[in-house]
Amino acid sequence: MNNLLITGGCGFIGSNFIRYMLGREEFTGRIINVDSLTYAGNPESLADRVDAFADRYTFIRADICDGSQMAKIYDRHDVDAICHFAAESHVDRSIVSPDAFIQTNIVGTFNLLELARSHQDRLTLFHHVSTDEVFGSLGAEGYFTETTAYRPNSPYAASKAASDHLVRAYHKTYGLPITISNCSNNYGPYQFPEKLIPLMILNALEGKSLPVYGDGQNVRDWLYVTDHCDAVWKIMRDGQRGATYNIGGNTEKTNIEVVETICAILDEIAPDNDIGPRRDLIAFVTDRPGHDRRYAIDFAKLKQELGWSPAESFETGIRKTIQWYLDNMQWVQRVRSGEYQAWIKQHYG
């Protein structure tokens, strides 16, 4: 992997993965970060890496749905491996505007696969990053495994399921060297403020309402983003080609537990007498359509084959996350105000 193409590298998980990779002693190759910079793509999340790794890191604003543009990038940089993060990923947005999810998540993935197939002589790996939402909803017991049938319940989940199937089909049909990972809910630094955990942190800091869907009993398995990055890299290096691996945090929490934990930590480390106990800010709101009741990941295959387990518990990871937002309010304000988009326009047109 001398020239690694990372798609969606200005997004939450992608930017964390680039930071992780540039810090790995065993990875000495170059990273070509391609991102179309839609609303959740923020190159400022990697601004300090540009100068520090000028000889090994390149950013290109490009849309994976533009096949000809991607082909030029692929050839110009002699790409020999792909890690595909780029995706529209917010369930609520997929309900309102599913067309963008079909284009990016399905057509974009198809374009990348065709590009990889046409350069198969030098391709070492196509790694596809996916989600546990493709499996649908669990009952009170049981876990998603690599053999769980796909039953997506939102346009977002359906688009990711389709892209998973395409990647697997290109391995089976054309012999493309691929790996797939399906991860649970990520959290950590640089996450866009619309997502549950950063939204709750920032609203609670400002004394705003903390909206919780339905009865708050929907369960998610939470995965600290650096643990996810570590798992992806292990799969890319040592995973069986053609295989799928589930990545989980071993941390099932109801939504209301997550919000109450955030409130308790903020009351401890950032008390505000004018706001009072943050739990009083919690407000239950109408549930969203197709809201899956429970996700839980069995990552035994990843643990047994590659020796991976998450380093962070939810208790340690959520404290690190809250502290990061407290320490990086300038980044937060630039995102929330839209200033980062003006910066993008200035630098990239």
Report the DSSP beta bridge partners of residue 221: 252
Domain parsing of the chain, residue ranges: 3-187+222-250+290-311+337-348
Task: Give 34-57 pLDDT, tens digit per residue.
Answer: 999 988 899 999 988 888 899 999
Active-site annotation holder among 132, 164, 252, 292: 132
Rounded mean pLDDT, 216-226? 96
Phi/psi zone of residue 122: left (φ > 0), alpha (ψ -120 to 50 degrees), beta? alpha
Active-site annotation holder among 35, 44, 88, 133: 133
- Which secondary structure element, helix H or strand E, spans residue 30, and what is its range? strand 30-35
Task: Give 250-294 pLDDT, tens digit per residue.
Answer: 999 999 999 999 999 999 999 999 999 999 999 999 998 878 899
Active-site annotation holder among 57, 156, 187, 224: 156
In which band, very low, low, confident or very high, does the pLDDT at 118 lie, cut at 50, 70 and 90?
very high
Query: How much of the chain, in percent, has pLDDT values that exceed 70?
Result: 100
The domain 3-187+222-250+290-311+337-348 is placed in CATH, from the list 3.40.50.720, 3.20.20.370, 3.30.70.1230, 3.30.465.10, at 3.40.50.720
Is 133 an active-site residue? yes
What is the spatial distance between Cα 172 and Cα 160, in angstroms, rounded to a whole number? 19
pLDDT at position 289 is 85
Rounded mean pLDDT, 93-118? 94
What is the spatial distance between Cα 124 and Cα 241, in angstroms, rounded to a whole number? 10
Is 132 an active-site residue? yes
Is 156 an active-site residue? yes
Answer whether residue 343 shows pLDDT above 80: no
Mean pLDDT of the chain: 95
pLDDT at position 200 is 98
The Cα diameter of the chain in Å comes to 64
Rounded mean pLDDT, 185-201? 95
